[in-house]
Amino acid sequence: MTENKIIEKKLETLYEEILHRKADKTGLFYFLSKITNKELGLDDVKTILENSEEGKAFGNFSHYSDKYWNDLPRVAQYKNKLSTDNEDIHWIDDISNRFSEKIPFENVLIVGCGNGWLERKLSDMNIGKNFDAFDISEKYIQEAKEKKGNRQINYFIDDINNLQHIEPKKYDAVFNFAILHHATEIDSAMKKLAECLKPQGLMFNEEYVGPARNQYSDGHLQLMLEVNSELPEQFRSKHTLRPPLANFRVEPSEAIHSDLVRPLFEKYFDTVYERDMNGGIAYQILWNNIEQFDNSDPEAKKWLEFLLDRDYEFSKQGKAPILFWYGIGKQKII
């Protein structure tokens, strides 16, 4: 095997290890020529690949390690106010008052339950009696089972894209907490979720409903950049405010059809209650940028309020798209 072939094989290995894909011909030829001409070594190529947007996306990705805007208590209050008119009441807590005549729901379905936190909370609040909960991850289902205690929760594995194990007209309530924006077959998923409700059953949603793949328009991006530049330097986001599409190979289903959530909800459900939860300015600027704001320093409080004021103002004016939505519906009778 020639020296060039050996180098080529090593480059292909680096691509697989760091970017989790085969090397593209352009990149392979470029790095091969640089190494042959002794302008770069393999360690240099490794560093370049690791520091690329694509490489950093893989290196940093973890479903629970990213820090989001609602990890800040003040942002949680902001979202509460938008969804329930009371900054101290989350929409889950609001159910007991707004739908007091319907609770406890007899049979409840949890969509994409993860580690089971939502059904445990709803059970402990006596919002539901008997719960079915599914997730595509065996790991999450096992963790949820271990934590359920003596609550009436039945766990099973299912995929939001086919929903093979849910029964029609069984449930008094369905809860979707940010799962539908991951659905590739979102029309089919929404239809089946509507059909699994009893005639007066309700579906509760908190969802990301912004542009698919977070591909914000040029105008929206410009608005975020302007607001970000108005912040003192220590509070500014250092991240790309419109995520590169390459990042979505890390989590291929992320926001795949998020822009269809509301239109398809309206197709299959009659809206009982809904509120915009904004986010068009503050969400992306605060993504993995909350540490400076997460303290009692007066300056941190001042600039977080500035950011939320801009978020509210530009959302209300229609200048920034609504990224988050809380909606409740019952099956549309056709």
The reply to whether 42 and 75 lie within a common domain is no
- One-letter amino acid of 59: G
Residue 24 has pLDDT above 80, yes or no: no
Question: Which pLDDT belongs to residue 30?
Answer: 76
pTM given for the model: 0.80
Question: Which pLDDT belongs to residue 16?
Answer: 81
The pLDDT confidence band at residue 296, using thresholds 50, 70 and 90, is confident
Residue 9: C-alpha distances to residues 51, 72, 210, 330 (Å) = 21, 47, 42, 57
The average pLDDT across 120-129 equals 97
Residue 127 has pLDDT above 80, yes or no: yes
Q: Do the domain assignments include residue 62?
A: no
The reply to whether 106 and 30 lie within a common domain is no
The reply to whether 73 and 17 lie within a common domain is no
Question: Which pLDDT belongs to residue 63?
Answer: 41
The average pLDDT across 301-323 equals 97
Residue 206 has pLDDT above 60, yes or no: yes
CATH code of the domain in which 167 resides: 3.40.50.150
Six-digit token pair at 34? 């640089």
The reply to whether 116 and 79 lie within a common domain is yes
Residue 164 has pLDDT above 80, yes or no: yes
Q: Do the domain assignments include residue 254?
A: yes
The reply to whether 42 and 103 lie within a common domain is no
Question: Which pLDDT belongs to residue 242?
Answer: 87
The reply to whether 195 and 314 lie within a common domain is yes
Give residue 9's domain range: 3-51
The average pLDDT across 199-211 equals 96
The reply to whether 221 and 325 lie within a common domain is yes
The average pLDDT across 15-24 equals 77
The pLDDT confidence band at residue 318, using thresholds 50, 70 and 90, is very high
Q: Do the domain assignments include residue 60?
A: no
Q: Do the domain assignments include residue 79?
A: yes
Q: Which residue has the higher pLDDT, 80 or 60?
A: 80
Mean pLDDT rounded to a whole number for the chain: 90
The reply to whether 9 and 113 lie within a common domain is no
* Structural domain count, the chain: 2
Q: Do the domain assignments include residue 47?
A: yes
Question: Which pLDDT belongs to residue 252?
Answer: 61
The reply to whether 16 and 148 lie within a common domain is no
Q: Are 160 and 183 in contact (CB under 8 A)?
A: yes
Q: Do the domain assignments include residue 63?
A: no
239-293 pLDDT tens trace: 889 887 665 555 566 778 899 999 999 999 999 999 999 999 999 999 989 999 9
Question: Which pLDDT belongs to residue 64?
Answer: 42
The reply to whether 119 and 227 lie within a common domain is yes
The reply to whether 86 and 188 lie within a common domain is yes
Q: Given the structure tokens 């590169």, which residue do they identify?
A: 244
Q: Do the domain assignments include residue 57?
A: no
The average pLDDT across 305-324 equals 97
Q: Do the domain assignments include residue 58?
A: no
The reply to whether 265 and 142 lie within a common domain is yes
